[in-house]
Amino acid sequence: MKKRKGVKRRKVWKIWVFFILMFVVGFLVLRAQTSETPEKVEIKDQQSESYQYAAIHSPTPQNSVMNSNETEIKKAEPLNGEGITVIGDSVIMGVEPYLKEKLPKITVDGKVGRQMSQAKDVVNELEQQGKLGDHIIIELGTNGPFKKEHLRNLLTSLSEAEKVLVVTTRVPKGWQDTVNSTIKEVVSEFSNTKVVDWYAASEGKGDYFYKDGVHLKPDGSRYYASHLIEALQEK
């Protein structure tokens, strides 16, 4: 009898130990699961929201293509001088280095003492040499007046060019106003031709000129070049 009671007590004790261990293990597991601080929980929630926002708002391939095209449209290709021809006298010869600084592929044909009456022959020569572009600048009148017919014939020969610019002159001689008025009158007859009014642009800028009031110092030449480039870019 005593042996049976002892065995029974040991069994009961083992059962109690088992339940106590199960309780302790369960308590520790529950505590570990709830031990995250509010800050950690909040960070995880924010990260989750960020991932969701990125997934919803990330650009689709179509949007990426559109954005790329828009960038290409905004990035208008700059002028490099290709297809641009300038015909002039000694004034343009002084401006030439500053034009080529910005437009390295431009063709400049300048000659000391050149008259408007000689321009048609220059055009023919450049055309034969393959140097006549579809954007043409005429800078003549410094060395004397010319007949309207000379300029009219010249512009008629250039009627298929995309753009022709004729520059007014500033020269302290009696023919200055006659030259400029002739240029404005004849140019108005041609739809592809515009006046670049150097006379107006150089008003009040005497420090840009040498003593002769015609030829330009470096700053003046640079200003002249920028004025021509601006005119080329205008539609």
Q: What is the dihedral of CA 130, 92, 172, 232, to 10 degrees?
A: 80
109 classed as catalytic: no
Last residue of a domain, one of 27, 47, 74: 74
- Check the CA dihedral 163-181-210-220 and report its sign: negative
Rounded mean pLDDT, 49-54: 36
Residues 175 and 146 sit within 8 Å (Cβ to Cβ)? no
pLDDT in tens, 69-109: 333 333 334 589 999 999 999 999 999 999 999 999 999 99
* Number of structural domains the chain divides into: 2
Whether 54 and 128 share a structural domain = no
Give the three-class secondary structure for 151. helix
Whether 59 and 90 share a structural domain = no
Whether 53 and 101 share a structural domain = no
The secondary structure of 14-33 as a DSSP string is: HHHHHHHHHHHHHHHHHHHH
Q: How confident is the model at residue 42 (pLDDT cuts 50, 70, 90)?
A: very low
Domain with 122, as residue range(s), is 84-233
- Say what the pLDDT of residue 39 is: 41
Q: What is the mean pLDDT of the chain?
A: 81
Residue 97's domain is classified under what CATH number? 3.40.50.1110
Residues near 180 by beta carbon (within 8 Å), at least 6 away in sequence: 141, 168, 169, 199
Residues 199 and 75 sit within 8 Å (Cβ to Cβ)? no
Whether 187 and 129 share a structural domain = yes
Whether 45 and 159 share a structural domain = no
Whether 133 and 222 share a structural domain = yes
Residues 131 and 85 sit within 8 Å (Cβ to Cβ)? yes
Whether 54 and 156 share a structural domain = no
Between residues 51 and 229, the one the model is more confident about: 229
Residues near 159 by beta carbon (within 8 Å), at least 6 away in sequence: 190, 192
Decide if pLDDT at 220 tops 90.
yes
Last residue of a domain, one of 49, 74, 99: 74
Residue of 90, 117, 157, 226 marked catalytic: 90
Residue of 121, 191, 207, 212 marked catalytic: 212
Residues 184 and 165 sit within 8 Å (Cβ to Cβ)? no
Last residue of a domain, one of 74, 95, 127: 74
Residue of 117, 215, 226, 227 marked catalytic: 215
- What H or E segment, with its residue span, contains residue 49? helix 38-57
Kindly state whether residue 215 falls inside one of the protein's structural domains: yes
Between residues 5 and 134, the one the model is more confident about: 134
Kindly state whether residue 212 falls inside one of the protein's structural domains: yes
Q: How confident is the model at residue 226 (pLDDT cuts 50, 70, 90)?
A: very high
pLDDT in tens, 107-165: 999 999 999 999 999 999 999 999 999 999 999 999 999 999 999 999 999 999 999 99
